[in-house]
Amino acid sequence: MRTPEHWFLEDLKLINPKVYPHWSSRYKKWFIVKDFHKRIGGLTYYDPVAGKNFIVEVVLEDEKGKAVPLDGKVLRALRKMSYEKNNLRFYNFLNEVDKEEEERAEKAQKIRREMQADFLRKANKFMTKTVFT
């Protein structure tokens, strides 16, 4: 049985204290689940290892149905999903997080290039300046 990292559990509890990750060996994917007090056919699932009934809140998969590892990007997507409270699929939020990361990286590259150009201008000015006459 797979267990999630401790930091992931702590951050997930900050998003929603009632949910936790569950590895499904049958589907080979992580689920975000919430405990339920009784068994209801078609709505709840039973975990024989833990002896608990649970409801699947989110299946962590991409748009192609492949499993997604538990990482910071998943947490950002879950946080965004919990704030927006709509019925979009998880991978829609995961794609939004990817786009935001790309935009953030492009902005950082632009700032880095501007800083490098500014440094080179100042270095060139310093190197061509006559100090002693």
For the question of whether the overall pTM of this predicted structure is more than 0.85, the answer is no
CA gap 128, 118 in Å, rounded: 16
Render each residue's pLDDT in the chain as its tens digit; 133 residues: 688 899 999 999 999 899 999 998 889 999 999 988 888 877 888 887 778 899 988 899 988 889 999 999 889 888 888 777 666 678 788 888 889 999 999 999 999 999 999 999 999 888 888 777 6
Task: Summarize the chain as % helix, strand, coil (round to 5).
Answer: 45, 20, 30
